[in-house]
Chain A
């Protein structure tokens, strides 16, 4: 439990959302750096 919410919920519901955003930001940053403008 963390703030009254089971750890599994933190991991599955909040964690996956946050992880997906982190990966997206990394992919975007790398693509921007490689972009030919």
Chain B
């Protein structure tokens, strides 16, 4: 009971701090560009922390140790390494995309390809792709809350949803970014402290590895027993193949640098240089991933088979914290895990909102709407979308569950070609972009519904097809005028790019 009080006190203090930051941000949020892109004013440090916090969702916090608990060190190759390799070329694309100040990701299509149709289509893709993601995060944080406090799951979802909605709807992108700094710090300190405690409890790093090499139990009751030695083998003794890992990389990896939530982090930064600094967060991310992996393997040494009431490895993280970490640090870690979920939720909520209000409503239905009215409308719409996400968490529609499973592949299939080819090839045309988005979309949805993600991820077919469509159709159609592509390309003499940049900076 005493420890419960500490958990609740720390969580309440943390929630109060986040709400206070949200309120501060609200006072500085006056325009639509402020609400969706932080007024393009954030420093390199805030961008760095924002990337760190958004990149680490509740899926990685709970799922990382769970994967390592079940399969061992191969997790590093399967998840983190694949992700890092995928973004190695991210800075090159980012440097070009950030040359123009965008308020939303789909606005890129209106600027680079002069296509409002594509802007609306991209808005719809983001909305559908991320709506389910919102409820995945809510689901995760609510589970944590109910584990700690004993609250019913229903109230966990409602409380965490309303809490995140409160600061995001009020303060927009700035609130999300500033709270991400706090959330990132809580998260990093929490994970490092937890790793020290759990590794200590399991007898030290060397001891963990020596013992893990001998484990041959089932990870949870009814699961396939682990082959002896697999936990410390680079590919879990053949359970995972390099071919599979490569297909996985092609599937969702390629979409990572053009994922809307990272493009908006980039847009929120005050300069190209500040924006690019977000990629340095991989130094911290790599350290955290290694910690979570070691924690998962240490968990297996401490608890070779999960108690019968737990039917999946997802429970290992909360179980380790409750059992092996002192209550004060444990509370901090739960706050950190909740932070990971909230910071992903807030970023995705803003993306969904801008898709509806800025890319679809303003573009098609009411181009004359004033900046002030659009900002207020966006605040209302973000609250409505958040409430829909809360309802979806209780009653998830089938098609959205399918979407959530392949959302990274969906963004790879539809955004890879227009973003990458668009910023590196002046000859990319409007028709080429429309063809690439539609071809990618149709193939990825068809393959997903027909074949699922195994053995080859649907995006592995969709991305090349989308690239080919872009190249062929662009060659056959009329090139766009120089004003469309010029802002994205470096000038020969250096310096800033053009009136387009000024135009989009002011949100006119």
Contacts and interface: CB of A to CB of B under 8 A. Distances in A.
Given A8-B234, A28-B91, A21 B276 contact: no
A4 B210 CA distance: 5
A17 B290 contact: yes
Nearest to A35: B272
A36 B206 contact: no
A27 B91 CA distance: 7
Contacts of A14: 73, 76, 290
Contacts of B90: 24
A17 B74 CA distance: 11
Nearest to B490: A36
A8 to B, nearest CB: 5
B76 A3 contact: no
B108 interface: no
Most chain A beta-carbon contacts within 10 A, residue among B81, B95, B272, B276: B81
Contacts, number: 106
Contact of B81 (A6, A17, A28, A34): A17
B80 interface: yes
Given A17-B286, A36-B496, A9 B73 contact: yes
Interface in A5-37: 5-6, 8-9, 11-14, 16-18, 20-21, 23-25, 27-28, 31-32, 34-37
A21 B286 contact: yes
A37 B273 contact: yes
Given A5-B209, A16-B81, A36-B495, A27 B272 contact: no
Nearest to B494: A36
Given A14-B290, A31-B92, A3 B209 contact: yes
Interface residues of A, number: 26
Interface string B214-256: 0000000000000000001111000000000000000000000
A23 B305 CA distance: 38
Given A3-B205, A4-B206, A24-B279, A37 B271 contact: yes
A11 B213 CA distance: 17
Interface of B: 73-77, 80-81, 84-85, 87-92, 94-95, 99, 205-210, 213, 232-235, 271-273, 276-277, 279-280, 282-283, 286, 289-290, 490-491, 494-497
Given A4-B232, A9-B234, A20-B84, 15 more contacts: A4-B207, A4-B213, A5-B73, A5-B209, A9-B232, A13-B73, A14-B73, A14-B76, A27-B91, A28-B277, A28-B279, A34-B95, A35-B276, A36-B99, A36-B272
What 7 A-B pairs are tightest by C-beta distance, nearest first? Answer: A4-B209, A12-B234, A20-B84, A4-B210, A13-B76, A31-B91, A28-B279
26 contacts: A3-B205, A4-B209, A4-B210, A4-B232, A5-B73, A5-B209, A9-B73, A12-B234, A13-B77, A17-B286, A17-B290, A20-B84, A21-B84, A24-B88, A24-B90, A25-B280, A27-B92, A28-B277, A32-B91, A32-B276, A32-B277, A36-B490, A36-B494, A36-B497, A37-B271, A37-B272
